[in-house]
Chain A
Amino acid sequence: MAIPSYATRGERIWHYLFLFICGLVFLFLIGPLLVIIPLSFNAEPYFTFSKKMVAFDPAGYSLRWYQDFFTSSEWLNAIKNSFIIGIASTLLATVLGTVAALGLSSRHMPARGAIMALLISPMIVPLIISAAAMFFFFSKVNLAQTYVGVILAHTALGIPFVVITVTATLSSFDTTLIRAAHSLGANPTRTFFKVVLPLVTPGVVSGALFAFITSFDEVVVVLFIAGPEQRTMPIQMWSGIREQISPTILAVATMLVLLSMLLLTTLELLRRRSERLRGLSPD
């Protein structure tokens, strides 16, 4: 955003002030994440920079909290649970959500608005309400404190993300391609696997990533309906923050920030791939 040549002095000052304000907001957004990364290498059990750290003395830094994490059976078990629940609910949400998105993007879908609003509602209803409601219902049908219960709950929470991303991908899908495939002699199954699926895959994968991260990051519902056997990473962090606050949490947090960077990169690559594939289709 360049300043136009006719800008007055006051406008120039205003422009730089504006950039400065934006800089501050960006610092506010990203600063906290940058602060905890060095803190997680703290040799002392505190949540702040020690004198040695400020002086860049190697003795002030250590990997002890990471070691703590990787040798703690509680944390490792929590990771395992998070992956079991995350993967199972992602698979379920992705399959159900993708199939439904195919139906929703049909031109003849009746009551689309109402159905869409219903499918998105798990994202809108506050988690604490879903959690309380699921607790009441799941304890009644003996699903509370089971893996199945948590997986079902997380599937419901992940579904809106899959539906939104896949319908968005499908809305820009060129349906003449299907007719072209038919006219070239492909049967419906072959058309689906050879034409539709490759074009839709990036949308499905990013929907699945959203669903996975939703489950992987979810605390409230697990807090209410999971038993001690289903302790997940977020629960372990939650009780860590509330009870015995130790910098191991910061080590976990750092690793999770790296994980989200990885996810963000994957999503960006998927988006580019989807655009490239779409670019091949006659618009």
Chain B
Amino acid sequence: MSEPPAAPLTTADGVPLKVSLRRTVRRSKIKALLLVAPLLAFLFIAFLMPLFEMLWRSVDNPEVSTHLSRTVSALEGWNGESLPDEATFAALAEDLREGQQERNLGLLSSRLNYEKSGMRSTISRTARRVGTLEPPYRESLIEVNNTWGELDTWKLIQREASPYTISYYLAAVDLQLSPDGEIVQVPEHMQIHATLFWRTLWMSAVITGLTLLLGFPVAFLLASLPARHSNLLMILVLLPFWTSLLVRTTTWIAILQSQGVLNDVMVALGVIADEARWQMIHNKMGTIIAMTHILLPFMILPLYSVMKTIPPSYMRAARSLGGKPFLSFRRVYFPLTIPGIAAGGILVFILSIGYYITPALVGGQSGRFITNYIAYHMQTSLNWGLAAAIASILLFVVIICYLVFNRLIGVDKVKLG
């Protein structure tokens, strides 16, 4: 005798339980999303849109196509083997005349000057005299400035007519396009960015290594002391962590500068002569010392939280099994701390390659980071496209480190204090 098939479970109002459950889950999903939505919208506007704007700016190339629109269309189909025809020169004269009247040739001339030095003065000189020029323009323009008689100038205009460019990215790594469109290195005396990228990376690696070297014993001590003592010592780690970055940088200036506290003490103790004071600041050493100090808590805290979870009995067991202290440490304790080392290391490295304030204040000329050049191009040279390209490359490096961090540790495991 077979039993009748069981009726599907239903809720009190007759809806099948499965359907009802699915509905509830969907409702709470929507509720959760609605709670997060305002913040997502905010971050989209205040944070992501600016980042997109920056990425866009690093390839945006509107100057030639807007300010030399007639010339650009006259150059269509030009083969680049001999100088363009009279119509093209006439178009250029017309473009420059209009630009001169509306006084908007500045961006154009800077843009072309990034690619071919001398173009700024060529354009301003030509534009000043373009009102009085008579046809045939080919001869009269070349007479004003013989740059217009060079094939390379015209090839440049033709190339930069494209609304997008990779030349900012090339410039960010010390490359450029030759007149024939090949990628070549910039002249040696102008190479700066690649060096700075490497310096930023290796100095950050050194700083990460130093924080690990100094942070490991301290984290070990904190993790193995009873809570009463370790809480007290923890304050010594947390206080600098909570102190303003500028304050900590200032203190290092006061301590390390040549008329500073450390040099004065050394002179008073007779360790060094008054004339031979140590140069510890406004160079690489200043950046490394100050940044190691500033980033040390970021290494100690993750290390400590990992070491706290390692039962002390493991070491005792290793010893009782006959392991020598060093061997037991290396084979038992140390491998267990690797997640902490990875977390602290990546964190310090990410923070370090993006540091701007400290290298700018204590780094001098030789201790500068690539970030200082982003600021330089933003504020001084006003080459915003290049600043955006350098920043985008740095952003890319940081995102890769962040993804590795997220994969290894999980960003929601980050603890503060």
Contacts and interface: CB of A to CB of B under 8 A. Distances in A.
Given A249-B250, A260-B242, A126 B46 contact: no
B32 A108 contact: yes
A54 to B, nearest CB: 8
A22 B218 contact: yes
Contact of B296 (A29, A213, A249): A29
B158 interface: no
Interface in B37-54: 38-40, 42-43, 46-47, 49-51, 53-54
A191 B8 CA distance: 35
A137 B44 CA distance: 12
B62 to A, nearest CB: 14
A253 B253 CA distance: 12
16 contacts: A26-B236, A29-B237, A35-B251, A46-B259, A47-B261, A97-B39, A108-B25, A109-B36, A129-B51, A129-B395, A134-B47, A152-B46, A159-B43, A167-B412, A237-B246, A257-B247
B92 interface: no
Nearest to B351: A126
Contacts of B357: 219-220, 238
A125 B51 contact: yes
Interface of A: 1, 11, 14, 18-19, 21-22, 25-26, 28-30, 32-33, 35-36, 39, 46-49, 96-97, 99-100, 102-104, 106-110, 113, 115-122, 124-130, 132-138, 140, 152-153, 155-156, 159, 161, 163-165, 167-168, 210, 213, 216-217, 219-220, 224, 234, 237-238, 241-242, 245, 249-250, 252-253, 256-257, 260-261, 263-264, 267
B264 A49 contact: yes
Provide the main secondary structure of the chain B interface: helix
Nearest to B51: A133
Interface stretch (B114-122, B142-150, B179-187, B383-391): B383-391
B99 interface: no
A104 B33 CA distance: 8
Contact of A109 (B29, B250, B355, B361): B29
B229 to A, nearest CB: 9
Given A100-B39, A126-B398, 13 more contacts: A1-B221, A14-B325, A32-B251, A35-B251, A36-B250, A48-B254, A103-B35, A108-B25, A128-B354, A130-B50, A159-B43, A219-B246, A260-B239
A234 B244 contact: yes
A137 B245 contact: no
A118 B43 contact: yes
A241 B57 contact: no
A15 to B, nearest CB: 10
Contacts, number: 261
Contacts of A14: 325
Provide the main secondary structure of the chain A interface: helix
Contacts of A261: 239
Interface stretch (B82-90, B103-111, B370-378): B370-378
A53 to B, nearest CB: 11
B53 A30 contact: no
Interface string B208-247: 0000001101100100110000000101111110111111
Nearest to B245: A217
A128 B38 contact: no
B50 to A, nearest CB: 4
Contact of A124 (B247, B255, B402): B402
B61 to A, nearest CB: 15
A47 B260 contact: yes
Contacts of B356: 126-128, 220
Most buried by A among B35, B224, B245, B361: B35
B101 interface: no
B414 interface: yes
